[in-house]
Structure 1
Amino acid sequence: MAEERLDKTFDVLVENEVIELVLPDNIKQNLRYEARPYQIEAFARFTYYLNKYKHRRKPSQLLFHMATGSGKTLIMAGAIVELYKMGYRNFIFFVNTDTIIRKTKENFLNSASLKYLFAQQININNQPVTVREVDNFESVNDNDINIHFSTIQGLHSRLNTPRENSVTFEDFANKKIVLISDEAHHVNSLTKQKLTGEELEVERSWENTITRIFDSNSDNVMLEFTATLELSHPSVAAKYNSKLLFDYDLKKFREDGYSKEVKTLQADLEAVDRALEGIIVSQYKKKVFSKYGLLIKPVVMMKSKTTAESAEMEQQFKDKIQNLSETDINKIKGLKGNETLQKAFQFFEESKISTANLIDELKDDFSVDKIISVNSKNDTDEKQIVINTLEAKDNEYRVVFAVDKLNEGWDVLNLYDIVRLYETRDSKGGKPGKTTVQEAQLIGRGARYFPFKISEEQPLDQRKFDADLENEMRICEELHYHCSHNPRYIQELNTALQEIGIVPREKKEVFLELKDDFKESKFYKTGFVFINKKVENDPQLNFEYQEPAIRKKHEYKLRTMATAESIIFTEQETKQVDRKTQSYKPILWEKVILKKAMSKIPFY
Structure 2
Amino acid sequence: MSKKREKLLPLYEELLRFDEDIFERTEAFEYPEYIESNLVHTFRDYQEDALRFFHHSQTSELFDYRDINHVLFNMATGSGKTDLMAGLILYLFKEHNYQNFLFIVNTKSVLNKTIGNLLNHTTDKYLYSKSIEIDGNRISFQQVKKFPKKPRENTIYIKLDTVQAVANDIYTVKENSMGAGDYAKNRVVVLGDEAHHYSASTKKEKEDEQSWESAINTILHAREDNLLLEFTATIDLEDKNIYEKYKNKIIYRYTLDRFIADGYSKNIRRIQTSNSDLDNMLNTVLLSQYRKLFAREKHNVEIKPVILFKSQRIGDSNDSEQYFNKLIASLTPAYLTEFITRQMQMDIIEASETLELTFEYFISKINEFPQIIREIKRDFGANRVINANDSGQKGILEKGQYEVLNSLESPTNIYQVIFAVAKLTEGWDVLNLHDIVRISDPAKTTGSKKATNSEAQLIGRGARYNPFKMDNRKSFTRRFEEGSQSSLLLETLHYHTINEPQYLKNLVDSLDAMNLPTGEDTKNPLLNVKVKPAFKSSNAWKSGKIYYNEAVTVTNEYYDGLDKYGINNKKDIVIPWITAAQEVKYSDFVREDYSQQHNVIVEIDKRYLNKAMNRLSFYHFENLKTFLPKLSSRDEFYGEKWLNLSQRTIYARVTRSMAKENLKPEEKLKILEIYLQEVAQKIQLGYQKVKGTNRFVGYPIKDYIQDYRKRIPQYDTGKETVYTVTQNVKNYDIKAPFFVYNSAVVNLLEKELIERVSERVSELEEEYDEVYLIRMDENMHRESRKRDDLKLYQFDSKANNIHYSGFQPDFILYLENSDFYMQIFIEPKGTNLLEKDQWKEDVLTFISQHEGEIIIDEHISGMKIKGVKFYTKNDGRKTINQIGELALGKRFKGLSME
Letter in 2 for 1:372: I
- CA root-mean-square deviation: 2.7
Name the aligned partner's letter for residue 196 of structure 2.
H
Shift of 1:499: 2.7
Aligned counterpart, 1:569: 718
Pair 462,374 (structure 1): closer, same or farther in 2 beyond 3 Å? same
State the distance in 2 between where 1:568 and 1:263 align: 11
1:109 aligns with 2:119: yes
Indicate the residue corresponding to 2:479 in structure 1: 464
Q: Is the 8 A contact 1:282 1:299 kept in 2?
A: yes
Deviations 1:394-441, CA, capped at 9 Å, x for gaps: 00100011111632210111011111113445667xxxx222112111
Conserved? CA contact 1:264–1:567, under 8 Å: no
Q: 2:310 aligns with which of 303, 307, 329?
A: 303
Is 2:50 the counterpart of 1:48? no
Partner SS, residue 130 of structure 1: strand
Q: In 2, Cα distance between the equivalents of 1:501 and 1:225?
A: 20
Match of 2:222 among 196, 202, 216: 216
Query: C-alpha distance in 2, partners of 1:21/1:356?
Result: 62
Match of 1:479 in 2: 493
Query: Distance between the aligned counterparts of 1:53 and 1:485, measured in 2?
Result: 59
What is the one-letter code of the residue matched to 2:284?
Answer: G
Structure 2 match to 1:95: 105
Which position in structure 1 is the counterpart of 2:415?
A: 397
Shift of 1:256: 0.1
The CA distance in 2 between the partners of 1:482 and 1:343, in whole Å, is: 16
Q: Does 1:418 align with 2:436?
A: yes
- Which of 5, 12, 16 is residue 17 of structure 2 equivalent to? 12
Mark the CA change 1:29 to 1:454 in structure 2 (over 3 Å): closer, same or farther: closer
Deviation at 1:382, TM superposition (A): 5.8
Cα distance change on mapping 1:180 and 1:15 into 2, 3 Å? same
Q: TM-score w.r.t. structure 2 length?
A: 0.52
Distance of 2:81 and 2:373 partners within structure 1: 41
Which AA in structure 2 matches 1:400? I
User: Structure 2: which amino acid aligns with 1:374?
Assistant: A
Is 1:316 the counterpart of 2:334? The answer is: no
Per-residue deviation, 1:169: 2.2
Whole-angstrom CA distance in 1 between matches of 2:78 and 2:150 = 33
In 1, the alpha carbon distance for the partners of 2:717 and 2:296 equals 27
Q: Is 1:30 the counterpart of 2:38 in the alignment?
A: yes
Q: Deviations over 1:314-356 (max 9, x none)?
A: 1111111111232344444442412110011223345677444
Alignment of 1:15-414 (within 5 A): 22-52=30-60, 54-56=62-64, 57-58=66-67, 60-85=69-94, 86-139=96-149, 141-143=151-153, 144-188=155-199, 191-193=202-204, 201=208, 204-291=210-297, 292-324=299-331, 325-326=335-336, 327-334=338-345, 335-337=348-350, 338-350=352-364, 354-376=368-390, 377=392, 383-404=401-422, 406-414=424-432
Q: Is the 8 A contact 1:21 1:40 kept in 2?
A: no
RCO greater where, 1 or 2, for CA within 8 Å and sep 6 or more?
1
Q: Distance in 2 between matches of 1:341 and 1:17?
A: 54
SS at 2:470 equivalent: coil
Instruction: Report deviation, 1:459.
Output: 7.0
Q: What's the TM-score once normalised by structure 1's chain length?
A: 0.77
Mapped contact 1:262–1:568 kept (Cα < 8 A): no
1:444 Cα deviation after fit? 1.1
Q: Is the 8 A contact 2:423 2:455 kept in 1?
A: no
The 1:188/1:288 distance shift into structure 2, 3 A limit, reads: farther
Q: Secondary structure at the match of 1:435?
A: helix
Q: Which amino acid aligns with 1:62?
A: V
Q: CA deviation at 1:462?
A: 0.7
Code of the aligned partner of 1:490: L
Equivalent position amino acid for 1:151 in 2 = T
Kindly indicate which of the two structures has a greater share of residues assigned to strand. 2
Q: Distance in 1 between matches of 2:259 and 2:486?
A: 24
Native 8 Å contact 1:265 1:566 kept in 2: no
Q: Distance in 1 between matches of 2:342 and 2:177?
A: 60
Does the Cα contact within 8 Å between 1:263 and 1:568 map onto a contact in 2?
no
| 8 A contact 1:27–1:78 mirrored in 2 | yes
The CA deviation at 1:92 is: 0.8
Asked whether the 8 Å contact 1:228–1:500 carries over to 2, the reply is no
Compared CA separation, residues 407 and 385, structure 1 to 2 (3 A): same
Look up the match of 1:594: none
CA distance in 1, matches of 2:372, 2:136: 57
Task: Describe the shift of the 1:350–1:41 C-alpha distance in structure 2 as closer, same or farther (beyond 3 A).
Answer: farther
Q: Which moved more, 1:378-387 or 1:220-229?
A: 378-387
- CA deviations over 1:115-173 (Å, ceiling 9, x no partner): 10112111124321111111111356433211111111111112222322222223212
Per the alignment, residue 454 of structure 1 pairs with 470
Question: 2:63 aligns to what SS in structure 1?
Answer: coil
Change (3 A) 1:410 1:4: closer
- Asked if 1 retains the 8 angstrom alpha-carbon contact of 2:481 and 2:487, the reply is no
Q: Secondary structure at the match of 1:116?
A: coil
Deviation at 1:40, TM superposition (A): 1.2
- How far apart in 2 are the matches of 1:260 and 1:331? 31
Contact 1:178 1:220 in 2 (8 A): yes
230-239 or 61-70, larger mean C-alpha shift: 230-239
Contact 2:328 2:377 in 1 (8 A): yes
Q: Check whether the contact 1:20–1:44 (CA below 8 A) recurs between aligned residues.
A: no
Letter in 1 for 2:85: M
Q: Is the 8 A contact 2:180 2:222 kept in 1?
A: no
The alpha-carbon distance between structure 1 residues 8 and 355, as it changes in their structure 2 partners (threshold 3 A), is farther
Q: Which residue of 2 aligns with 1:439?
A: 455
Corresponding letter in the other structure for 1:168 = G
Moved more, 125-134 or 298-307: 125-134
Identity percentage over the alignment? 35
Q: 1:12 to 1:275 in 2, by over 3 A?
A: farther
Quote how far apart the aligned CAs of 1:381 are.
7.8
Q: Contact 1:59/1:215 (CA < 8 Å) preserved in 2?
A: no
C-alpha distance 118-346 of structure 1, shift in aligned 2 (>3 A) = same
Q: Which of these two proteins has the greater Rg computed from alpha carbons? A: 2
